[in-house]
A and B are shown apart, each in its own frame.
Chain A
């Protein structure tokens, strides 16, 4: 017995709706659903990150404007601009994601669009996180150095040996932090989206083979 012989039998069986029964009576009941699709998942991630970006932007602007310490002022003002740039990127990705709600295109086209969007999101997220590391290090090092220059009599930096020890320790911490952040970001993105990306790529390859 092959697929053709079983076509009629299977067709009857696929209609087996006795295992669950649901009726859509109105549109408002649909709009309240917490969806589980990939597009919804990306949208939820983007919205969460936009909300956090706005909160941090407001906080950083406040600190930048009202802090009495000049180093802190520069540091937080600069990072408020960085967060603003990141928010613009997130909004751009959100607009792109919203344009994908129509899923009536062909399966291959839909998969390609989704794969491309998710790859872009993961790539930009990773790039942004990695970009923050040298900026953080540079600013904390430079502003720390300025503070030391202003307060040269500080006991810790009273001689060159202590300064050398501090530089080594600082470099070591920066190295550990950078490597840690690199692997953590990779792991985090792979955990969130890696399997989805791999699965979509596999399906696109299957369709193109």
Chain B
């Protein structure tokens, strides 16, 4: 199997990671598509450096977040869409849960790029050590930041959600 084919297979098997990062960092379809392509390109360019020491998914998260954080929108007027429009409905959810999820999602959308990366890795069940390695900070620092973030998100969610 050639490296190209191997990479495409791995990428397609893990493409949900790329979708998640795009949905989190970009608030309209055009930007998400641009970012998706950019992440795939950067992943391919960096693929030679992937030695299999970590899982492909962990490596792809790192490339995707690095790319998303240093990705800048094209300077043209674009129709902005609400961040919560990216949120798929779950038919059997009760309304109040749905509203709270939307409120939380809205609060996450307002976070800065670094905090978004923290939340994403936390939601993906990365350990504090793994989050620290991805961000380049210590696990203790991750713990402190996560505690602050949880409080901030809870407050923001309460503001956004009024039953």
Contacts and interface: CB of A to CB of B under 8 A. Distances in A.
A203 B113 contact: yes
Given A37-B72, A207-B114, 19 more contacts: A4-B150, A9-B93, A11-B123, A11-B124, A13-B88, A14-B120, A14-B123, A16-B88, A22-B37, A24-B8, A30-B37, A35-B38, A102-B46, A102-B49, A104-B50, A107-B69, A110-B69, A203-B113, A208-B137
B66 A103 contact: yes
Nearest to A101: B45
B154 A2 contact: yes
Interface in A1-29: 1-4, 6-7, 9-20, 22-27
B151 to A, nearest CB: 9
A120 interface: no
B110 interface: no
Main secondary structure of the interface of A (DSSP, over half): helix
B29 A107 contact: no
B57 interface: no
Interface in B72-102: 72-74, 85-88, 90, 93, 97, 100-101
A54 B56 CA distance: 43
Contacts of A33: 37-38, 41
Contacts of A4: 150
A9 B97 contact: yes
Contact of B72 (A13, A18, A41, A106): A41
Q: Which of B20, B93, B120 neighbours the largest number of chain A CB atoms within 10 Å of its CB?
A: B20
7 contacts: A3-B122, A3-B123, A20-B22, A23-B12, A35-B38, A107-B62, A110-B66
